[in-house]
Amino acid sequence: MNRNSATWVVMIIAISVMLAAAPYMARRAGLNNSLEQRDEMKGKPAPEFALESLDGATVHLSDFRGKAVLLNFWATWCQPCKIEMPWFEALQKQYGPQGFQVLGIAVDDASKEDIAKFAKDIGVNYPILLGKEAVGTAYGGVPFLPSSFFIDRDGKIVNRVAGLKSRSEIEDDIKAALSQGRAALQ
């Protein structure tokens, strides 16, 4: 291959990489604001939503008032999501009797059927809801997947986590959510 051909190949590859990365970089541009909002959201009421579940029911966050909630934004293509979802299943079994509930919000472009198959194949034992962009925006944007919100029994945000954390860190946030709110004092 001559020098001109090699130059063209390198330029085409560079342009292709830039085009492929453009949507990711555009989303990531909101990262600083999102991280700043993480602390601003603590102690504030979690935004209410109404989303369709895989079984066709309309689910509201307020349906879980009195329970600690782990609200997890995820996608079928997200590798870290596939790591933490089995942890959520086990934690749902462990802490569910104490008033804990995991809610998964699928935010990818997969069909409802594909999302249901994915959840079934992994063995998800908690409700999966079909996400809407407006819900992610209400939660300060979701620049990373997975993104999780830990909500106390009164519906207030205890913590926001962007990206994969260890199971023990997730469990610590669950315990914090369970221990806060009026229902925890009764």
Question: Per residue in 21-80, pLDDT tens?
Answer: 444 444 444 444 444 444 678 889 999 999 999 999 999 999 999 999 999 999 999 999
Q: Integer distance in angstroms from the first to the last C-alpha of the chain?
A: 76
In angstroms, the Cα distances linking 171 to 47, 176, 186 are: 23, 9, 22
Are 105 and 71 in contact by the 8 Å Cβ rule? The answer is yes
Are 93 and 62 in contact by the 8 Å Cβ rule? The answer is no
Q: What is the pLDDT of residue 43?
A: 86
Q: What is the pLDDT of residue 26?
A: 45
Are 69 and 177 in contact by the 8 Å Cβ rule? The answer is yes
Q: What is the pLDDT of residue 76?
A: 95
pLDDT band at 186 (very low <50, low <70, confident <90, very high): low
Every domain of the chain and the residues it spans: 32-185
Task: Evaluate whether the domain defined by 32-185 bears CATH number 3.40.30.10.
Answer: yes
Q: Is the peptide bond before 127 cis (omega within 30 degrees of 0)?
A: no
Q: What is the pTM of this model?
A: 0.77
pLDDT band at 149 (very low <50, low <70, confident <90, very high): very high
Q: What is the pLDDT of residue 94?
A: 96
DSSP-based three-state secondary structure for 99: coil
Longest CA–CA span in the chain (Å) reads 78
pLDDT band at 9 (very low <50, low <70, confident <90, very high): low
- Which H or E run includes 135? helix 133-138
Q: What is the pLDDT of residue 53?
A: 96
Here the tokens at position 80 are: 């870290």
Tokens 């979802």 found at: 85
